[in-house]
Amino acid sequence: MKLEEVINTALAYLGENGYDVGKDKAEDDKIRLLVKCANIMLTEIAQEYLPLSDECRVVAKNNRFYYDEVPRRVLRITSVKDENGAEVKFMQKSFWCNVRKNGALVVGYRYVPATAEIGDDCDVDPRVSEKTLALGTCAEYCMISGMYEQSEGFAERFRQDMRSCTRPVGSVTIKERGWY
């Protein structure tokens, strides 16, 4: 989904139908604030609800590699493997990761999405809908603007949508019945 679509949906929820983000309104203060709020919600979703994960190759020297070598902003390292697929023990630090092996490694990690602008795609789990992200954006916008009651209403709807996104889908089984 595009950030522009999310902002347009958020504006509709806020009752601001006079705006069209796709045109020359990208420099408007309200639009800029909504973009910041959407980015806050993208980060919150990735940190609290549905983490984003990826893998990349790095080269460890002196038993460490730096997070600058990883293409995205690292939230947490989840696994480190050597070229053969064997697990490598690691210890995560603030700016680097200590590993027990030098050379080429495959690093699995969770990351924080990059800041999105109006024309960009939202880096979010596919289970999160445009509506859900727009509700969270509205909640954040109302909180910043001092509309606390509206903010709580949007936040509750956002949390309800996120619960439905994160709810595990189980199989329904019906107990067998005997035929008499």
Edge to edge, the sheet with strand 90-92 lists 64-66, 96-99, 90-92
Note the pLDDT tens digit of each residue in 109-151: 999 999 999 889 999 999 999 999 999 999 999 999 999 999 9
pLDDT of residue 29: 86
Whether residue 74 sits in one domain with residue 32: no
Angle subtended by helix axes 130-145 and 3-13, to nearest 10: 60
Q: Which of 74, 92, 112 is the last residue of a domain?
A: 112
Domain count, the chain: 2
Residue 173 lies in a domain: no
Domain residues for 132?
3-50+124-166
pLDDT of residue 99: 96
Note the pLDDT tens digit of each residue in 46-57: 999 999 999 999
